[in-house]
Homo-oligomer: A and B are copies of this chain.
Amino acid sequence: MNYSLRSILLALPFLPVLVTRGSAETGYDAWLRYPAIQEKSVRDLYTQLSPTIVVLENSPVIDAAQSELIRGLRGMLGRIPRVEHDLVPGDIVVLGTLAAAQRAFRNFSLPDDLTADGYWLKTTILDDRHILLITAPNDRGVLYGTFALLRKMALHQRIDSLDEKQNPYAPIRWVNQWDNLDGSIERGYAGRSIFFEGGNVLPDLTRAGDYARLLASIGINSCTVNNVNASPRMLASDFLPQLARIAAVFRPWGVKLSISVDFTSPKAIGGLSTFDPLDPSVEKWWRDKADEIYRAIPDLAGFVLKADSEGRAGPSVYGRTHADAANVLARALKPHAGIVIYRGFVYNHHLDWRNLKNDRARAAYDNFHALDGAFDDNAVVQIKHGPIDFQAREPVSPLIAGLQKTSETLELQITQEYTGQQRHLCYLVPMWKEVLDFDLGAQNRSTPVKEIVAGKTFHRPVGGFVGVANVGRDANWLGYDLAMANLYGFGRLAWDPNLAIRDITAEWTRMTFGNDAQVVDTVMNLELESWHVYERYTGPLGLGTLTDILHSHYGPGIETAERNGWGQWIRADHEGIGMDRTVATGTGYIGQYAERVAHEYESLSTTPDNLLLFMHHVPYTYVLHSGESVIQYVYDSHYAGAAEAEKFPEWWQTLQRRIDDQRYEAILKRLTYQAGHAIVWRDAICNWFFRESGIPDAQNRVGHYPNRTEAESMQLSGYAVQDVDPSEDASGGKAIACSASAKSCTASFLFQGEPGWYNLHVQYFDLNGGGARFQIFVNDQQLDQWVADLLLPSNKINADSSTRHTIHGVALRPGDRIRIEGAPDGEDRAALDYVEIARQDYYSQ
């Protein structure tokens, strides 16, 4: 090996291995799969692609671009192009920054309107040869251009006549991970942390690097790796080398490390007696700490700070403001071009519910509006998109337009905390798009959210978008392949919020599952329907999700919202429901909006139905714009939503053998579970409203389940009946569970229907304190057995754990005895709610 070759090799920081993939898929590659293109007509599009890639310079990021390009071309075309560093003869693909490109092609006119991270894909003929140029102002842009080219190919688009310039919409395109140093993840639903375990950074950061690759492919430029409820240890000097290792695996992908910090750090680990932001010793501590960090991690993007919120200490301890807190960090970071992102999610969680004027929705605006202008330029306020906390539907936060002299970033939640926790399909891009396009009408002009947060409206130096994305160690990152559309969509919207929903969805679908027309149609329909379906069977009319807000944030838990200090009240009684947030008679929240918006929400007649009960208190008999009463709408929407969710697995089954088996099976399992749990939601919410309002369902469905046999009415042995709390969590308000001493329990009943083929739906409770086993028999014949091992977020008999198991196609005759045997395991007492028996459709099972 000659010297120059050796020096090039040594200069390469890493050489990712190129491996051809089989067709078994774990979801690990997400949308970056690069499957071989089989169709000749599509392969023909790329026949002429040059065998030579000229890489004009070396940097970790451009090396990553080079290896990604080769990986993609090898995967899709079965061809491995050659990398050169000189302008060898023949057609070439060229990778390099604008500066390098200008040096290489002196007479070629390059654009001057690209901004940082933007890129230009350009095909041209220069000196009698075809050139495909991927260039950008910085090396991150070259990487993004490379991903863009590969995306076009994965979408089977032409690449022989390119002239595409793209600039990012905003500079802040971050994700927050809520990972704790012990390896757990707050609101993570896909296994433990890919960064931490036992108080340390993981020895093997392969997954962290691969996560950065996914993020880079959608334009994310920073990842905050730890929980906003931050450990002081993050800033400990002996921990810095560990953080530097994460930064190192991020770096080739242009993803900067950022970290959440604990505001008490100067005292907690710094040895000071105070963390008062205006104390000079505290200011110096932060400055010195920043200097120390940047010596280890020169490209740290900055800090994220959650203070004075949900029990975390903050500047209020010393009577200081949020601005004081943010600025002391901002000044420490400024010499290093870092920023501090200060979370605007500040509210009092000991609100007095008896006071009808109290309103948590007001909190963000009330806390920050007065500070507008007091934040340094590199201090950014991170605002959740709604005034509460990522419910199935909320209005846009009024604080977004309430800060006009402060840099902002919009916080969206990719992790589905209140929207099904990745066990339910709930594609949030349509929701986010509504938020981004919402016109807050500030200064009596058009001021859509996207423009404000990006800094365009009020000419702020920095701004953008932050997504809370709690990927974990599950092979497919989010525990659910279909949930990855939210991560993809967040990145694409952060890059360009003007992208159409359908275009983003089609990109993700085609890259994730291939270009088969039936696959694309089906997956897109599932994704695009899912949010509305989820909203229909959970919390409609702006009520929030109606989930258990005190514990799991998962299943129905309607009354957990009421009569406590958390302030997510829905103010329901036997006459009516809804928070009166009007200026005229309510909390005045609506007055936080600019005039046009406030005017719309203040009046019942102009408030949209889907936010009605967020803004107003009305009787159940109040008639919506749709013409239905509130109460009938609740019934109808829940029955419609559950019926739609039941179609999801049926749609999915049309894709068998059109996609890989592994993802097909895993997704089918989740969609089937969701269809069953949607019925739990439907029944719990409808029964609660029926009980509260006393108004029957006009269609006579609520409270009437003719094919259902309640467990508590069965002949029991070993089982004992118990009340379920809240009662709407179980059919009839009761369940049966094995008594503490029983090893095996039996519940049986007689079938009295017509002879024929039936499906048997067994509604049981899958508690996470053990793996109870169930068997079901008809007379002496065993039909099926299963284990309750879904790891749902509950160790109680309630709607979180309520689960449906279906046995298809059972031959029954009147007089048959149906018997269920439960074998409890630990705290899981093999509890049952009911059995429902429905005629089988032989052709769809």
Contacts and interface: CB of A to CB of B under 8 A. Distances in A.
A399 interface: no
8 contacts: A5-B779, A18-B783, A51-B811, A79-B810, A80-B811, A81-B811, A82-B779, A657-B657
A781 interface: yes
Interface stretch (A97-105, A249-257, A489-497, A661-669): A661-669
Given A24-B661, A80-B807, A82-B779, 17 more contacts: A5-B779, A18-B782, A19-B785, A22-B661, A22-B665, A23-B657, A70-B781, A74-B809, A77-B809, A78-B808, A78-B809, A79-B808, A79-B840, A80-B808, A82-B781, A90-B755, A661-B661
B22 A778 contact: no
A116 interface: no
Contacts of A658: 657
Nearest to A785: B17
A757 interface: yes
A755 B813 contact: no
A780 B5 contact: yes
Top 9 nearest A-B pairs (CB, nearest first) are: A51-B811, A79-B809, A78-B845, A82-B811, A22-B665, A78-B809, A661-B661, A24-B661, A83-B781
Interface in A65-116: 70, 74, 77-83, 88, 90
A842 interface: yes
Tell which of A40, A656, A780, A785 has the most Cβ of chain B within 10 Å.
A780
A228 interface: no
A182 interface: no
A292 interface: no
Interface string A807-839: 111111100100000000000000000000000
Contacts of A370: none
Interface in A794-810: 807-810
A9 interface: yes
Contacts of A3: none
A780 B8 contact: yes
Interface of A: 5, 8-9, 12, 15, 17-20, 22-25, 36, 40, 43, 47, 51-52, 70, 74, 77-83, 88, 90, 656-658, 660-662, 664-665, 668, 755-757, 778-785, 807-813, 816, 840, 842-843, 845
Nearest to A38: B656
A755 B755 CA distance: 75
Contacts of A8: 780
Contact of A80 (B24, B79, B809, B843): B809
Tell which of A40, A78, A662, A843 has the most Cβ of chain B within 10 Å.
A78
A132 to B, nearest CB: 15
A757 B49 CA distance: 11
A660 B755 CA distance: 37
A599 to B, nearest CB: 55
Contacts of A5: 779-780
Tell which of A5, A77, A79 has the most Cβ of chain B within 10 Å.
A79
Contacts of A90: 755
B813 A82 contact: yes
A36 B845 contact: yes
Contact of A780 (B9, B47, B77, B657): B9
B660 A782 contact: no
Contacts of A660: 661
A525 B12 CA distance: 49
Nearest to A74: B809
A657 B845 CA distance: 23
Contacts of A20: 808
B809 A18 contact: no
A83 B779 CA distance: 9
A826 B83 CA distance: 34
A431 to B, nearest CB: 32
Contacts of A811: 51-52, 79-82
A757 to B, nearest CB: 6
B51 A755 contact: yes
A23 B842 contact: no
A18 B842 CA distance: 19
Given A90-B755, A845-B78, A18 B661 contact: no
Contact of A79 (B81, B661, B757, B778): B757
Contacts of A52: 811
Contacts of A88: 813
A700 B779 CA distance: 77
B80 A665 contact: no
A80 B40 contact: no
A43 to B, nearest CB: 7
A725 to B, nearest CB: 34
Contacts of A845: 36, 78
Contact of A842 (B43, B813, B816): B43
B47 A842 contact: yes
A20 B809 CA distance: 12
Nearest to A52: B811
A656 B757 CA distance: 36
A47 B757 CA distance: 11
Contacts of A665: 22-24
Contacts of A83: 780-781
Nearest to A759: B78
Contacts of A807: 80
